[in-house]
Structures are given as C-alpha cells and as structure tokens.
Amino acid sequence: SLNAAVQGEGPCGLLGADGDDSLYPIAVLIDELRNEDVQLRLNSIKKLSTIALALGVERTRTELLPFLTDTIYDEDEVLLALAEQLGNFTMLVGGPEYVHCLLPPLESLATVEETVVRDKAVESLRKISQEHCPVDLEVHFEPLVKRLASGDWFTSRTSACGLFSVCYPRVSSTVKAEIRQHFRTLCSDDTPMVRRAAASKLGEFAKVLELDYVKSDIISLFTALASDEQDSVRLLAVEACVSIATLLPQEDLETLVMPTLRQAAEDKSWRVRYMVADKFSELQKAVGPEITKNDLVPAFQNLLKDCEAEVRAAAANKVKEFCENLPEDNREQIIMTHILPCVKELVSDTNQHVKSALASVIMGLSTILGKDNTIEHLLPLFLAQLKDECPEVRLNIISNLDCVNEVIGIRQLSQSLLPAIVELAEDAKWRVRLAIIEYMPLLAGQLGVEFFDEKLNTLCMAWLIDHVYAIREAATCNLMKLVDKFGTEWAQNTIVPKVLGMANDPNYLHRMTTLFCINALSETCGDEIITKQMLPVVLKMSNDQVANVRFNVAKSLQKIGPKIEKGVLQAEVKPVLEKLATDQDMDVKYFAQEALSGEKKLFHRWIQILNRPFPRDTVVALQRSDSKVRTDPACLCFQQTKPVVHQVLHRTVMYKRHTGVSVNRMESDELQ
C-alpha cells in the first residue's frame, strides 16, 4: 500500500531496507498527502507528478490513484489543485492505453459541491477524453458520462452537461442516440442549476450533431430553454442562438430561430434583453442581411430605447458594429432613418454609462456616413458629448477624433470642435487635460504651423506651469514631439525663448520645468541652439536659492554635456559643477559629483548608505521581537544609526518630489 511505501515496509517500500536517502523527499511528500496542515497537503498535491514519477506508472495506477480517490473529501483548494494535476497525468499512468485509470478520481471531483472544483474536473475530463481511443471511449468514458447525467445530486448532472460534446463525435450511432436522450432529459431537469448548465452547453453540443438532429432535437430544446421560468436559463439560451443560427440553412432561420429570438428581444427580464444586446453583432452576422433588415433593425431600435440603462448601454456599445454589418445597398438609409434618431436621444441620456458607451463608438459612424452627413448630423452630437459633464464621455470622444479627421478634414474639425477642446484643456480634472495633451501632436501635424501658433501655442505653454506634475511632464514631452513635426527653426523662434523665459519665474517648480524642457528639447534641437541659447540659462540657474533647482542643473549639464564642445565644457561647465560639488546640500553635491565623474547610476549613493555597517548592539536589538525592542536597553544604540536613517529617508522624499511621485504622510512627517 501507499502507507507501506511511506514507511519503507516490505521489499517494494519506497525507502527500501537500506534507507535510500535520495528518495526521502518523495516519502515526505507522500506522507504530507494526509497531513493535518492544509498548506502541506496542498504543496504535496502540486508536486503530485514528482511523486508519480518516483513511484513509476504501475504503482501510480495501483496505489497512488486509489489513495487519491479515497481522499477526495478535503478542502476545496486542495481538491482544485488535484483536479488540475490529474488532467496532465496521462503519461504518468502509462500513456493513452491506461488513461481510463484517471476517470475514478476525476468522476468523484466532478460531483463535489464547490463549483470551481467541478469545473476544473470537467476541464480535465474533457482534456483526457481526447486521449481515449474510440473503443475505450465507449467502454470507460461514456458510462462515466451516463452515471453523472443520472446522478442523484444536481452537482453531478451539471458536470455531465460539459462532457456530451467531447464524446459524441467518436461513438457509435446507438450510443449517440443514448447521449442525445440524456441531454434532452437534463434540459428539462427539475433543478434550475442543471437546466442552466445544459443551456450554456446547448450551442456547443449543437455543433457536433448532425444537421437533421439539430432541426429535430436542438431547436425544440432551444425553444423550451428560451421560455424557461428562470431568466438565468433564458439568457443562456440567447447565447446558444448564435451557434444554432450559424448551423442552419438561411431558409430555415425564419421559421426555426427568429420567433424565439424576437421573444427574447422583448423578454420581461432586463438580463435577457441585455444578453440579446450584447450578442447582437454576432446574431446579425449569423442570420444574414435580409433578416437583419426586416427583423433585427426594429429590435435594435427597441434595445436602444430600453427602459433599463444596462440594456441601453450594451446596445449603444454595438452601434458602430451593427451599422458596419448592414447591407451596403441601403445601409445609409437605414442608419439615417432608424438608428440616428435613437443615437441622438442617447447623447443626452440620463445615465453616464450609456453616454460613455456611445461616445466610445459614435465617432466610427463618420466613416460609414461620409463627409456631408457627418458635418450636418454627427458634428453637433460630438460637440455635445465634448461638453458633457461626465469626464469619461469627453475622454472617449477625444481619443477617437482621428476617425472624424479622416472623413471631414482637420480644419473643419477644428472650427467645429476647437472651442470645446480649448475648454477641456483648462478642465478642472487633470486627467481630462492630460488626454488633450496626448492628442495635441496629431492636431498640430494636421493643422499646420500657422494655425497651431495662432490657436494652440499659448495653450501648450500654459500646460508647462500646470499645478499637476503629470501635466507638466506630458507638456514637456509634447514640446519635443512638436519640434519633431515643425523643425528646429520653429523651435528656436517660437518655443525656446518662452521656455527659457520661465527660468526667472518666482515659482521654483516652474524653474525646474525649464530644466526638464531643456533636457527634452536637447534631443531634437541642434548643438548650436543648445550651446548659444540653453547652456547660459542652465549655468545661471546654478546659483538658484532652491536646492532642488541646483541639483537639477547638475543633471541637465550631465544630459546636454555630450552635445557641447570640449572647450566650452572645460571653460564654463566644469567650474560650475565643481562649485556645486561643494554645495551645502547633500543632493546637490551628489548629482554634481555624478556629472563630474560621468557616473549614471541614480541609486549609487543610496547603496553606499544602506550598506554602511550598523553597530553590533543595534543589529541585536533590531532583530528582536517588537515587544522586546521597546524595553531592551540595547535599543538605545539605534540612536547611533539615526543620521544614516535620516539620510536615506531624505533622499527618498527628495527623489519622489523630483519625479512627481506623491510623498506619503509618514515620510513627510518623519523628515520634518
């Protein structure tokens, strides 16, 4: 037995008479399978393949699997791990010839109360079903499915629903008839959970059936489940409708599927209507253009006008996709007559989720309707949504402006929407401002230099002095992208003078932004602009009263140094860095020394501080439990390390402030 294997009893014991130490870890794993500690059992189950390899295929079949089958009653997390492991056990039991040995433990797992364990057991059963030859499938696997389907507890019957489709294609006609009968029985089961499981697998089962049986068996089951008293069953029948519709010839759809689908689209439960709206594009493709025009267009209108916001949101999310899939010969007429009036109502919907869903797709209608219809009918809707009180609605419109740009051109777009964009650029919510900044390079490239300088240049410069660091950082990157589009001459005449003018700003954050801009622009501007215009300003800022500005001067000099002539470096830059290297502030010293030495590792100094040895008594005190530390006299030695701790904390806070990361309250209070 397996217990004998653990203890080393008998000639075939795992440890043997001479106590082979190499197998001792395996014996420990086997022993832990029955340990009282759940975590130990779980760890052992996760290493089940190791145990099986050590035991060999024969002992795995005759000892390990019966042992596992007997210990099925365990914690859910252990059973879940076991169900997953057994799905990969085919080669460990001797290959496909012996894969049926895995069925007993998995069958037991497929009947437990916990849903996730049952689902994982069914997943493993489906996986190993492919390893069975047709004969073994009928001899071993198909009887298991029958037992589960006729089990007393609903748990086994729900698991059976997921197994019919994997064994049906490979069994004889007689067995196929039995499987179809079992599935019909489960579809009319007294327990709603079983009917729900059957409904969720109806479409999958229909795909493996012969067409005649789809018409004779599946359609009647579909109709019955779509009329079930439980809405949780009816909504799953809608999902199956997509699969069934793709299997049937076009001439049979109207009589076999559409009556039930119309009923579902008007179901009394909003959950069922929501499922219809969510699957509408798939249903549209499955039923074809003619039925779409006659039946689905009115149904889609009703869903867009539904009394429940969740249904309207799901339908609104499908507007673009639905319109794209309409028949080309009368697509525009259907949209303008039937869909657009509903869309106009949704723009002013009372629910923000509905408006947000619509805003994410409405811009796509412009490519379908063309330039004239977009200008006349859609632009007013875009403008209304750009001014919506919900930030998410505005963001969705902004992020999809390129769809409209392709149709009507950027100048028409800017004349219509530019005032709203300017308003959003000054929005109180910083994420809205950030979205506008990210879109600005595209706008600039399409508008051209003259229009940009006239309308948007001031806006871009204003973002550089925003009170939110993320906005200032994005605005800095934005300038670099603008220079890429408009060239260094434009930067020299328009951008650089304004950026350098901020060096005299009374707010030190704005002066730091000047340095950040110089760092970014140095990658796109020429060496002449850097040397003649930027460098003098950076050198002058080395005398700034704020230490944060001074150490950023050192960093900027290190950044632009490779682009400056060697003579200028020696004559002008090096003396400034040497002066900063003797600064009273430790951060300024550090970055100046970094620039002088050419070292680029930001945390080099941190590592030096953290690696500094602590006094032995301090280490002893800090290693003790909290309660002892509070009372132990050795803890007083911690005072010796206080300067070191303060240096580390100081550098943490200063680095966070420099990069815009928020400093938590504890760090701020401790620093003060």
Q: Is the Cα torsion angle 108, 111, 117, 118 positive or negative in sign?
A: positive
Mark out the alpha helices in 448-583 (DSSP H runs). Answer: 449-455, 457-463, 469-486, 488-490, 496-501, 508-521, 527-529, 535-540, 547-560, 566-568, 574-580
Residues 362 and 354 sit within 8 Å (Cβ to Cβ): no
DSSP state at residue 623: H
Instruction: Kindly report which listed range (9-23, 167-181, 475-489) carries the lowest average pLDDT score.
Output: 9-23
Instruction: Answer whether residue 307 shows pLDDT above 90.
Output: yes
Distance between CA atoms of 316 and 300, rounded to whole angstroms? 10
Q: Is residue 275 part of a domain?
A: no
Q: How many CB atoms lie within 10 A of CB 312?
A: 27
The angle at the Cα of 475, spanning 471 to 477, to the nearest 5 degrees, equals 120
Average pLDDT over residues 309-316: 95
Residues 637 and 621 sit within 8 Å (Cβ to Cβ): yes
Residue 357, both tokens:
């869903």
Q: What is the pLDDT of residues 419-473, one digit of tens each?
A: 777 777 888 888 888 878 887 887 777 667 887 887 788 888 888 888 899 999 9
Q: How many CB atoms lie within 10 A of CB 504?
A: 12
Q: How confident is the model at residue 198 (pLDDT cuts 50, 70, 90)?
A: very high
Locus of tokens 């001792």:
24
Instruction: Answer whether residue 575 shows pLDDT above 80.
Output: yes
Q: Which helix (H) or strand (E) holds 598?
A: none
Using CA atoms, how far residue 143 sits from 93, 136, 137, 168, 334, in Å, is 21, 10, 9, 12, 54
**Could you tell me the maximum CA-CA distance found in the chain, to the nearest angstrom?**
97
Instruction: Answer whether residue 577 shows pLDDT above 70.
Output: yes
Instruction: Answer whether residue 644 shows pLDDT above 50.
Output: no
Instruction: Answer whether residue 211 shows pLDDT above 60.
Output: yes
Q: Is residue 391 part of a domain?
A: yes
Tell me, what's the pLDDT at 611? Answer: 46
CATH number for the domain including 298?
1.25.10.10
Number of domains comprising the chain: 1
Distance between CA atoms of 672 and 663, rounded to whole angstroms? 13
Average pLDDT over residues 261-274: 93
Q: Is residue 184 part of a domain?
A: no
DSSP state at residue 292: I
Q: How confident is the model at residue 207 (pLDDT cuts 50, 70, 90)?
A: very high
Instruction: Kindly report which listed range (128-132, 360-364, 503-507, 524-528) carries the lowest average pLDDT score.
Output: 524-528
Instruction: Answer whether residue 377 shows pLDDT above 50.
Output: yes
Q: Is residue 352 part of a domain?
A: yes
**pTM recorded for the entire structure:** 0.68
Residue 630, both tokens:
């509070």
Q: Whole-angstrom distance between the N-terminal and C-terminal Cα of the chain?
A: 69
The angle at the Cα of 146, spanning 218 to 148, to the nearest 5 degrees, equals 100
Q: Is residue 98 part of a domain?
A: no
Residues 162 and 202 sit within 8 Å (Cβ to Cβ): no
Q: Is residue 148 part of a domain?
A: no
Mean pLDDT of all residues belonging to the chain: 81
Q: How confident is the model at residue 638 (pLDDT cuts 50, 70, 90)?
A: very low
Q: Is residue 314 part of a domain?
A: yes
Q: Which of 83-87, 327-331, 353-357 has the highest mean pLDDT?
A: 353-357
**Full residue range of the structural domain in which residue 402 is found:** 288-425
CA dihedral 18, 24, 27, 32 (to 10 degrees): 150
Tell me, what's the pLDDT at 272? Answer: 94
Locus of tokens 């902004």:
398
Q: Is residue 393 part of a domain?
A: yes
Tell me, what's the pLDDT at 452? Answer: 80
Distance between CA atoms of 503 and 550, rounded to whole angstroms? 12
Residue 270: closest CA among 306, 240, 305: 306
